[in-house]
Structure 1
Amino acid sequence: MHDNDTKRLSRLTAILTQLQTKRLLTATNLAEKFNVSVRTIYRDMKALEQAGVPIITEEGKGYTLMEGYKIPPVMFSEAQANALILAEQLVLKNKETSFIKDYTEAIDKIKAVLRQSDKDKANLLADRTRFEQNLNRQRSSNNISQLQFALTNFFLTRIDYINEQNKTSCRTIEPFAIISTTENWLLIAWCRLRTEFRFFRLDRITNLEILSEKFEQHKMTLQEYFDKYH
């Protein structure tokens, strides 16, 4: 996700929060608050409307939410909530203090309306995610969303993995954390084949299957893991 994408996601989230807490918002005020053009705010409002948010435009006055509308607990799927948590980690790498503050406050309000079970999963994922910014990153992965789900729901996962010697092996793993170095996305997981924690580069996972069997949660934080094993 590029810096512009995270900024837009942050702005959309903050606008939605503003709409819920204020009676009326004008495009001019929003443009000044987020340091963007009025035209950009128009596009943001259209994006929110297309996402199903009932925004009412009062001619000559501004924007307001339909009376009684609140973000319901079911508005975000688990995968969408997880995506927001990952985006939060990206935003925290931004150097602009006010931008971080606005986004963090917006995320806190979103977490507040999640169902308790989803809230617990979101907090767990936030603890188990580390990100180092690298805008020139070339390697990519299509497995992050699935691994987030397996991690927060404690599902065993089977992967086909290519090691540095270009040999493929099948592993059954217990996903523990997702981190990013300056070059790769990495999964930390308990490998049942090796009976120890291992790092797996996500771009080396050629096949992934989430199994129905669950594993017992590893009762430690990511920092405690690093303190113990590194």
Structure 2
Amino acid sequence: MSGGRKQTGIRRSDRLFDLIQILRDGKLHKARDLAERVEVSERTIWRDMATLKASGVPVEGERGVGYMITAPITLPPMNLTMGELEALHLAVAILGEATDPELAENAQSLAAKIDAVLPENTGPPAAGWGHAVHPFAFADARAGFRHMPLLRQAVRDRKVLRITYLSLTGDSSTRLVRPLQLDYWGRVWTMSAWCEKRAGFRTFRVDRIETVIDTGAQFKDEPGKTLTEFIAYQKANKPFAAKT
């Protein structure tokens, strides 16, 4: 057990992101093992899991049993696309922080109504979507939205991108990547890709991507570099978020 060890120089939102990357394999993870992975106490893991549940991240589990991420969020009777969910989150987050008290109140009321019809397995977001209990700051989401149109197009059209990425330690690097998939984790988007620099799969936080350039090149599926193999590799190995 990790006892009283603490991560140094890592924001809580970054630790929560790391936990999501671990849990996204769909397997059951015990709090003790999660604590060892991110170097905090089990008590801290219990609090982090409660925060993720309250934020709408579909985490299931409890102390003594373990935790796992379940199905993606849908709003009955309609299923939301990732783009629609992004737009809804952004609109509610912006209005919820509006200086106009009436707009802010109505946004929070709307968020509460949405929360009320979310599937039970998402857990009840106690304070609505993206307010005080949310693990990721609104600034994190806003920083990433500017790149989303080009990233989406690159995934669809298999475009090779040149990105400048800022690691959690503050180091900036330039990468050539093959974007394979975009995922949404409650205000924070991630891009899973084949990274030519590291010659392997990496998951990049979109809000930490500083620049994106379309190289004009397109990529074709090659053995060892496909989305199917990324998913298989992800299930068989520990998360590989691009911190360096």
Greater RCO, 1 or 2 (C-alpha within 8 Å, sep 6+) = 2
Question: TM-score higher than 0.5 here?
Answer: no
TMscore range, shorter length: 0.3 to 0.5
Bigger fraction of residues in helix: 1
